[in-house]
Amino acid sequence: MLTLFGVRNQRRSSRPLSVGDMDYLEPKTKNNLLGKLLLLASLVILAIIVISRSSSFTSPSVFSQREEGVTHVLVTGGAGYIGSHAALRLLKDSYRVTIVDNLSRGNLGAVKVLQGLFPQTGRLQFIYADLGDPAAVEKIFSENAFDAVMHFAAVAYVGESTLYPLKYYHNITSNTLGVLEAMARHKVKKLIYSSTCATYGEPEKMPITEDTPQVPINPYGKAKKMAEDMILDFSKNSDMAVMILRYFNVIGSDPGGRLGEAPRPELREQGRISDACFDAARGFIPGLQVKGTDYKTSDGTCIRDYIDVTDLVDAHVKALQKAQPRKVGIYNVGTGKGRSVKEFVEACKKATGAEIKVDFLPRRPGDYAEVYSDPTKILRDLNWTAQYTNLQNSLQVAWRWQKIHPHGYASY
């Protein structure tokens, strides 16, 4: 007759006792068996926990799988000024969004705002990473199923680019190459590239069309043109859908007051004129410095085409919707109207209600006299035109956010 374990112990002291046709174990043996069973159960539970926590056995993230009816967009530089506004618009339009940013120029607070607005699973994820790290870029693309990339990530100050040109070529040109290579390896089919009017340099003829010769005069514009050239060369033998948007001087902020522009304090010297104007209005700096009054323009100051960030991200979304395989679209994104720096300063004074001291200084290296767009092509092809064209109103919207957030996103 077999015991519970199938082997009869022959030693007398531990011999099972028989009652009828059934054996039963003595109490000491029974306790040993119970201990073994508990140990075995514990080991099984431990194994389940280890396996469940192993990355190879976890349930796949929704971001790693394509889902019918859902477009997953990678927004590089999505913690920055323009990128965060683009992410907001995409999320409002029910896109799935992954933000990648190294926070060297972006703000984690902007990401937190977006996470608070869209907390639902599968809507938004943030990845802290540097696009200059090939291993990090490969990991991002291998672990996520992207349908499209909006590539905003870049350093973007003309003056700074003249001081640190290699930084700009690395950050803009080299990093764009890395993103493009990863897209090709992982078969991501749409690229919306954030370029700039700085690629045109100082054209002899205004307004600027997409056929205006590109002769950039500063490292920022040169690095962006190199990136464009790489994309165009690659697209000749690829079925990728590509849109290149060359936009002009960006102002404004989210009309809902959720996002704004908050540049690093150490970059104020290099920043946009709107940032300097607001800093002067709040007393953070003693006044506004206008660099260059001897340009061949109506009042001697530079003329620029100021595009509201809300219009700009609308152009990106329309470009994403219209992008076609094996085709490249190149578009200027501007209002088609140039405004002088002096005009801008007066509009800023009215928007803020502040008396702003203005100092007129020599030209800044790398600047050009006059730049404004001809938006005919983007209207024809994408049915896009700027809606927020009142300079003072755009500045008032941005000023409201600045007043509420005097230290940017520091409170988030």
Peptide bond into 60 cis (omega under 30): no
Q: Which amino acid is at 228?
A: E
Q: What is the DSSP string of 358-384?
A: EEEEPPPTT--SB--B--HHHHHHH--
pLDDT at residue 47, as a whole number: 57
Which domains occur in the chain, in start order?
72-404 (3.40.50.720)
Q: Of 41-55, 169-183, 253-267, 312-326, where does mean pLDDT reach its minimum?
A: 41-55
Q: Provide the pLDDT confidence category of residue 52 given band limits of 50, 70 and 90.
A: very low
**pLDDT tens track for 256-283:** 999 999 988 777 777 788 988 999 999 9
Q: Of 170-184, 256-270, 384-398, where does mean pLDDT reach its minimum?
A: 256-270
**pLDDT tens track for 356-368:** 999 999 987 767 7
Is residue 199 over pLDDT 80?
A: yes
Residues 6+ apart with CB under 8 A from 182: 137, 138, 140, 141, 188
Is 169 catalytic? The answer is no
For residues 147-175, average pLDDT: 96
* CA dist list (Å): 198 to 67, 77, 130, 175, 262: 38, 19, 24, 19, 22
Q: Provide the pLDDT confidence category of residue 289 given band limits of 50, 70 and 90.
A: confident
Residue from 95, 200, 220, 409 carrying the catalytic annotation = 220
Is residue 41 over pLDDT 80?
A: no
User: Tokens standing for 83?
Assistant: 């990128």
User: Tokens standing for 92?
Assistant: 């409002």
Q: Of 45-54, 109-118, 222-231, 390-399, where does mean pLDDT reach its minimum?
A: 45-54
Mapping DSSP to helix (H, G, I), strand (E, B) and coil, where does residue 243 land?
strand
**pLDDT tens track for 64-74:** 999 999 999 99
pTM of the model: 0.84
pLDDT at residue 265, as a whole number: 76
